[in-house]
Chain A
Amino acid sequence: DAKTTQPNSMESNEEEPVHLPCNHSTISGTDYIHWYRQLPSQGPEYVIHGLTSNVNNRMASLAIAEDRKSSTLILHRATLRDAAVYYCILRVPGSARQLTFGSGTQLTVLP
């Protein structure tokens, strides 16, 4: 099964953009790229997902490499409330494959 690799931690200054990378070099054609975040003492929260094209929503943007072997979650203006663990996972419709989350990236936002 395809795996994802993320840095353990990143720091950002408040009100600056943040680019969180994720490598998924063995991704298959039907894998969707999902991002979730987990605030302290809460359950994970969906952020965004995509298949091939870049995606935008009110929370973030997702930039997907042309070969789909990597992606980047972009928070356009980090706030203190964005401090969380960010998870990148791969999902296949109708399958439980790759539903296990890794350790994610701990994002620290500095005031």
Chain B
Amino acid sequence: DAEITQSPRHKITETGRQVTLACHQIWNHNNMFWYRQDLGHGLRLIHYSYGVQDTNKGEVSDGYSVSRSNTEDLPLTLESAASSQTSVYFCASSRQGTAGELFFGEGSRLTVL
């Protein structure tokens, strides 16, 4: 199974601050994804990447950015955190060009005060 780690697992920040959530996977999967999960909304796609230097917007991308400088990492940045971005964030990866399974991290709980 893939191993995908997220850090920090818990973070509290203030409105307006920049926050970066890290995501690292060890299996060299080309596809990586960021989701947020809120009560009543299931999992919503924020950004995704199909490889190095490739990034794409998902359903709820406003206020977020990602960069893909290598295969293993896809950091998620909140340029100016807002209270509406308080959520649990999940990173996921999958192999290229298949309909294969998504492997998820354990999640990062972000609170914006």
Q: Give the size of the chain A interface in residues (CB under 8 angstroms).
A: 23
With contact pairs A32-B99, A93-B98 given, residues A43 and B45 touching in the complex (Cβ less than 8 Å): no
The reply to whether A100 and B43 contact each other, CB–CB distance below 8 Å, is: yes
- Which residues of B are found within 8 Å of A93, using beta-carbon distances? 97-99
A87, chain B: closest CB distance, angstroms: 7
Main secondary structure of the interface of A (DSSP, over half): loop
In the complex, which of the residues A49, A96, A101 contacts B101, with contact meaning CB atoms closer than 8 Å? A49
Chain A residues within 8 Å of B105, by CB: 43
Residues 40 to 93 of chain A near chain B (Cβ within 8 Å): 41-46, 49, 51, 87, 91-93
B74-101 CB mask vs A (1 if < 8 Å, else 0) is 0000000000000000101000111111
Question: Which residues in A have some Cβ–Cβ distance to B below 8 Å?
Answer: 32, 34, 36, 41-46, 49, 51, 87, 91-94, 96, 99-104
Can you list 11 A-B contacts (CB < 8 A)? A34-B102, A43-B92, A44-B104, A96-B33, A96-B45, A99-B45, A100-B43, A100-B58, A101-B35, A101-B42, A102-B42
